[in-house]
């Protein structure tokens, strides 16, 4: 049963309590409804992907109640401070380098060294974020492949029974997603057109990277992202393990290997998704120390989040270019 919570004080408090407990809760923003979970809790974030039936573990936007809270977790340079002063709260997402002490789970950012952050301007969303007092990861609150929802009814049409609650704050004012601007490199790059126009951004920041303003057709996020890949080569579907391999295990582990990281002893795909990027990083580090030649990954069934996990692992195992 999915509860529909009113956008009053009691509703906001209840939504915040659910989020702090690790539940998935949809909430309205000025752009579209988001499917929220505690961004610091990898299992809660995995449950977002499960609810959306998303075939990929894409990096998600982290929502904060204030710019100050966001900039405690990512490094803001002068451009980021200027953009935040001009457009936050509002429909702009900034991609910035994670700070070493960043508390956001690796799964939220798909293992990348950067994190997408935004402060929405919808008063109910802001009240919720302030009540939760943790970063909230939230993609649009629709099933994968369906259009983004701009009302609580749309959310229920796609996700009723799959999530704990939806906080009904009425129809969304902007109706399209936030603009995603990458400020992690020397030139600002527009990754996704959205609620803030390129003209407004350029007026604030000066020229935006070539892909941006000229790019009427946005490149696919999957292609343009330099997805996290481990340093060690990756071998998939291992059914036996050599002594010089670092093992990413799923279910009862294979014997052998120089070190091992267990994704889920019980073979649970939500737990495994939550631990995937942690596991790849750990095996990279332990494997390098122990002289491993590669990471061997046990096979993961294509059930539940298995599809999304395998998509990521296939990218990690793909032949390296450059």
Residue ranges binding Mg ion (CB under 5 A): 140
268, exposed or middle or buried, with CB in 10 Å at 0-12, 13-18, 19+?
middle
Instruction: Identify the helix (H) or strand (E) that includes residue 163.
Output: none
Angle between helices 42-52 and 269-290 (to 10 degrees): 130
Interface with ligand TXA in residues 187-246 (CB under 6 A)? 191-192, 221, 225
In the set 14, 19, 29, 165, which binds ligand TXA (CB under 6 A)?
29
Q: 114 contacts which partner out of ligand TXA, Mg ion, none, CB within 5 to 8 A by kind?
A: ligand TXA
Q: 135 contacts which partner out of Mg ion, ligand TXA, none, CB within 5 to 8 A by kind?
A: none
Q: 25 contacts which partner out of ligand TXA, Mg ion, none, CB within 5 to 8 A by kind?
A: none
In the set 65, 139, 230, 257, which binds ligand TXA (CB under 6 A)?
139
Closest contact distance (angstroms) between CB of 319 and ligand TXA is 23
d(CA 124, CA 181): 24
Closest contact distance (angstroms) between CB of 192 and ligand TXA is 5
Q: 132 contacts which partner out of Mg ion, ligand TXA, none, CB within 5 to 8 A by kind?
A: none
Residue 164 binds ligand TXA, judged by CB under 6 A? no
| Size of interface with ligand TXA, in residues (CB under 6 A) | 28
**Quick one: which of 307, 196, 316, 201 has its CA closest to 248?**
316
Closest contact distance (angstroms) between CB of 48 and Mg ion is 11
Closest contact distance (angstroms) between CB of 155 and Mg ion is 12
d(CA 116, CA 233): 28
Beta-bridge partners for 179? 92
Tokens linked to 284: 């990279």
Given the complex with ligand TXA, which of 121 and 275 has the nearer CB atom?
121
Residue 177 binds ligand TXA, judged by CB under 6 A? yes
Q: 93 contacts which partner out of Mg ion, ligand TXA, none, CB within 5 to 8 A by kind?
A: ligand TXA
User: 78 with 131: CB under 8 angstroms?
Assistant: no
Q: Indicate the residue whose CB is closest to ligand TXA.
A: 34
d(CA 256, CA 134): 41
Tell me the residue ranges of DSSP E strands in the chain. Answer: 3-6, 25-27, 34-38, 61-63, 92-97, 114-118, 136-137, 165-168, 179-182, 189-192, 234-238, 245-249, 259-262, 294-298
DSSP letter for each residue of 37-105: EETT-HHHHHHHHHHHT-SS----EEE-SSHHHHHTTB---HHHHHHHHHH-SSSEEEEEEBPTT--S-
The DSSP symbol for 110 reads T
Backbone angles phi, psi at 236, to 5 degrees: -95, 165
Closest contact distance (angstroms) between CB of 175 and Mg ion is 13
Strand pairing category for 92-97 and 179-182: parallel
d(CA 233, CA 206): 41
Given the complex with ligand TXA, which of 60 and 249 has the nearer CB atom?
60
Three-state DSSP state, 236: strand
Interface with ligand TXA in residues 85-124 (CB under 6 A)? 91, 93, 95, 109, 112, 114-116, 120
Residue 57 binds ligand TXA, judged by CB under 6 A? no
Q: Indicate the residue whose CB is closest to Mg ion.
A: 140
In the set 14, 15, 34, 67, which binds ligand TXA (CB under 6 A)?
34
In the set 37, 138, 238, 274, which binds ligand TXA (CB under 6 A)?
138
Interface with ligand TXA in residues 58-87 (CB under 6 A)? 58-61
Task: Name the residues that contact ligand TXA, by CB under 6 A.
Answer: 29, 31-32, 34, 58-61, 91, 93, 95, 109, 112, 114-116, 120, 138-140, 177-178, 180, 182, 191-192, 221, 225
């Amino acid at each position: 049963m999915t509860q529909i919570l009113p956008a009053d004080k009691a509703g906001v408090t209840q939504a915040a309590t659910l989020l702090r407990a690790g539940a998935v809760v949809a909430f309205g923003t000025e752009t579209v409804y988001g499917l929220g979970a505690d961004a610091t809790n990898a299992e809660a974030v995995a449950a977002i992907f499960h609810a959306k039936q998303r075939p990929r573990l894409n990096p998600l936007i982290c929502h904060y109640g204030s710019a100050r809270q966001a900039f405690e977790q990512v490094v803001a340079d002068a451009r980021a401070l200027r953009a935040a002063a001009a457009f936050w709260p509002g429909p702009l997402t900034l991609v910035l380098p994670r700070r070493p002490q960043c508390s956001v789970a690796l799964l939220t950012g798909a293992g990348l060294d950067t994190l997408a952050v935004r402060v929405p301007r919808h008063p109910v969303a802001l009240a919720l974020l302030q009540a939760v007092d943790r970063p909230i990861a939230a993609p649009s609150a629709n099933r994968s492949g369906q259009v983004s929802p701009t009302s609580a009814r749309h959310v229920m049409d796609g996700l009723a029974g799959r999530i704990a609650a939806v906080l009904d704050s009425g129809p969304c004012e902007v109706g399209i997603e936030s603009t995603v601007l990458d400020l992690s490199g020397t030139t600002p790059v527009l990754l996704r057109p959205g609620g803030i126009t390129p003209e407004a951004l350029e007026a604030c920041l000066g020229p935006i990277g070539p892909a941006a303003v000229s790019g009427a057709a946005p490149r696919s996020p999957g292609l343009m992202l330099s997805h996290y890949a481990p340093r060690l080569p990756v071998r998939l579907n291992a059914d036996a393990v050599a002594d010089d391999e670092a093992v990413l295990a799923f279910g009862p582990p294979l014997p052998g290997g120089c070190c091992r990281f267990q994704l889920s002893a019980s073979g649970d795909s939500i737990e495994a998704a939550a631990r995937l990027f942690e596991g790849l990083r750990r095996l990279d580090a332990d494997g390098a120390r122990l002289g491993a030649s590669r990471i061997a990954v046990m096979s993961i069934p294509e059930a539940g989040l298995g599809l999304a996990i395998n998509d990521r692992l296939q990218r990690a195992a793909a032949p390296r270019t450059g």
